[in-house]
A and B are shown apart, each in its own frame.
Chain A
Amino acid sequence: DTGVSQDPRHKITKRGQNVTFRCDPISEHNRLYWYRQTLGQGPEFLTYFQNEAQLEKSRLLSDRFSAERPKGSFSTLEIQRTEQGDSAMYLCASSYQGIHSPLHFGNGTRLTVT
């Protein structure tokens, strides 16, 4: 299977703890995106990378969130001092750099903050 892989699938944590998620994109894709989805809503853009460069961050992304893609391959998304409002599905997607390339999504990491 050469699709986008996300780990873990589920994470339950207590408020105030830090969590880290990992995404492995499709190997030929040089763009990697993080989205967040809550119940009844569509995916909400958080940030994206082209190779190892983080090109854009949503203004919705608080300073408790940080993403990295150190070698232009896999990426990590860390949430520090989690809050109950962080509970959501965190989706990773990848694409080619070229014009009009669709995003290919992983199955997401569901975070529950208790």
Chain B
Amino acid sequence: SAVISQKPSRDICQRGTSLTIQCQVDSQVTMMFWYRQQPGQSLTLIATANQGSEATYESGFVIDKFPISRPNLTFSTLTVSNMSPEDSSIYLCSVENSRVRVGYTFGSGTRLTVV
């Protein structure tokens, strides 16, 4: 199955600043997914990133707040812009593995704290 390298693993940021999270996959994948997990909550899909087109955002998430880049089939970034303490969460990327038993591979997560 695919292996994902996600960076940074954690960060503490000042409110009003932005943080860019990177995910590098060791194989070409069509779709990459970005999730947010707020403290004590389940994962929520932010957007689906397709190479060569704009990301598709879920209800409640907008491009100005969470811009996504997908320059090629192995890499994507998610930026959390103009951060507030409410953005403190774990952010994860994920890809689908259609050929293996487990279905999806997830990144190691980015634990973001906004102060």
Q: Do A and B come from one complex?
A: no
B residues lining the A interface (CB < 8 Å)? none
